[in-house]
Amino acid sequence: MPSARIMLIDNEEGLCRMMQVILTDCGYTVKPYTRPVQAVADFKAGAYDLVITDIKMPEMDGLEVLQHIRNRDPEIPVIVITAFATVEMSIQALRNGAYDMLTKPFEPDELIYRVKNALQHHQLEGENRQLKEELSGKFSFDQIIGHSEPITQLLETVAKVAVRETSVLITGESGTGKELIAQAIHYNSPRKEGRFVALNCGALPENILESELFGYRKGAFTGALENRRGLLESADGGTLFLDEVGNLPLHVQKTLLRFLQEHEFLRVGDREPTKVDVRILSATNSDLQADVAAGRFREDLYYRLNVMNLHLPTLKQRRDDIPLLIVKFIAEQNEKFGAEIKGLTPEAMSAAMAFDWPGNVRQLRNVLEAAMVLTTDNYIGLTTLARFIDVQGDHLPINEDDYASALAGFETVYLRRLLRKHGGNVEAAAAEAGMNMATIYRKLKKYAIKKTDLGS
């Protein structure tokens, strides 16, 4: 971080000036202070990337400075400098939140080394926090779009299942979002700090699947030139998601069953078991009970995986969510490609609501992406939509009240989420929605939405 901003505090003017020169020559932006009281008064959270302070100073010692700064910015690293380092002082400084301690006298190279370490540590911690926040937002329940009864009931169950170590089998048609539910379980569970590892059991040949899942020892087979960890071991401390689990070969099923019973497994070609701490989530769009009856899937493994079953509704069963999903997918594509599509025309929305969507949510997303490429207007029309789905004859609803009701439901949920996101700020909500404030207020009145009910 060569352009990092550093606050430097030392009452010895000569030493303070020397450190400023050294750090400035390295490309850092340095603000020096010889009076700690003034430094503390000027400090603002986010204004600096690092603070360096002497311990023994008049007016206010370095430990007091450290306490004031950490109270305002708990994440910023602080290096303390002292000529009288003792074990007690070091412990006290570290307990108060100091990142490092530098003892006088020191060489310029040592100062630069300590500063680089502190800044790199701060940067990595910031990136980790940002990644965790992004993951938490990406896989929070709020990101699973829908207010229909089937999806609401499902998410209530998911919230309960997430906090337990229960094995979960997620069932449902292709395209209903089984992996998204698995991710929501993981990132809202006590294992959210660990890895989420997914394996599509139907995408790999049988001879590769076993070594991919469990790993192998060097020399176990031709081409095994070194030891290799499998996905199960890579997920240690986290969650392994087995999609299309019905495609597992019987001998792999046996090894997986042993892991579920003993929490250990054998790598291919290994004689010593490997122990890992992994939660197993699985999914299938086939009838595993029929596979058990036909001898294609082990009955004991089926009951181990299916401690809790979550069945995902089809999009046809949750038609009320279609307008919400359309808004979400169009917004994603607009952001990705810099487009400005505002939605569907009323006729196209009616057709989308009436269509059965055999490919479920995945098909809806793909159709919208293709339609946005072809449309030349701000709204996707019926003609464009008809190039991808059947909108003829009986597929078009004849009751205009159905469309009005669906639209009202969508607008109510959309406005509530938008206002909650902006803490009830109508101006900010209007700006994001691309509407004027008068329109927002009119719709709030129409749907009896009160800003005071939304919280901040």
Residue 113 shares a structural domain with residue 231: no
Residue 354 shares a structural domain with residue 391: yes
Q: What is the percentage of the chain residues whose pLDDT exceeds 90?
A: 45
CB 34 within 8 A of CB 152: no
Grouping H, G, I as helix, E, B as strand and the rest as coil, residue 9 is: strand
**Whole-number pLDDT of residue 17:** 94
Range of the domain at 271: 141-313
Residue 288 shares a structural domain with residue 391: no
Domain C-terminal end among 297, 313, 329: 313
Residues 300-321, mean pLDDT to the nearest whole number? 94
Between 46 and 130, the more confident residue is 46
* 56-65 pLDDT, tens digit each: 898 888 889 9
Residue 150 shares a structural domain with residue 241: yes
* 385-419 pLDDT, tens digit each: 998 998 754 444 444 455 566 567 667 777 887 78
Domain C-terminal end among 313, 333, 368: 313
CATH code, 349: 1.10.8.60
What predicted TM-score, i.e. pTM, was given to this entire model?
0.58
Alpha-carbon span 283 to 229, nearest angstrom: 23
Residue 149 shares a structural domain with residue 287: yes
Indicate whether 31 pLDDT > 60. Answer: yes
Residue 168 shares a structural domain with residue 309: yes
Between 304 and 130, the more confident residue is 304
Burial 185-205 (b: 16+ CB within 10 A, else e): bbbbbebbebebbbbebeeee
**Whole-number pLDDT of residue 456:** 42
Residue 281 shares a structural domain with residue 150: yes
Residue 323 shares a structural domain with residue 305: no
CATH code, 309: 3.40.50.300
Alpha-carbon span 269 to 291, nearest angstrom: 29
Residues 45-55, mean pLDDT to the nearest whole number? 91
Phi-psi region of 107 (alpha: psi -120 to 50; beta: other; left: phi over 0): beta
CATH code, 107: 3.40.50.2300
Count of domains for the chain: 3
Residue 269 shares a structural domain with residue 160: yes
Residue 147 shares a structural domain with residue 275: yes
Indicate whether 206 pLDDT > 50. Answer: yes
Domain C-terminal end among 134, 165, 196: 134
Residue 72 shares a structural domain with residue 157: no
Alpha-carbon span 81 to 18, nearest angstrom: 14
Residues 170-180, mean pLDDT to the nearest whole number? 93
- CB-count exposure of residue 317 (10 Å: 0-12, 13-18, 19+): middle
Q: What is the mean pLDDT of the chain?
A: 85
Residue 308 shares a structural domain with residue 163: yes
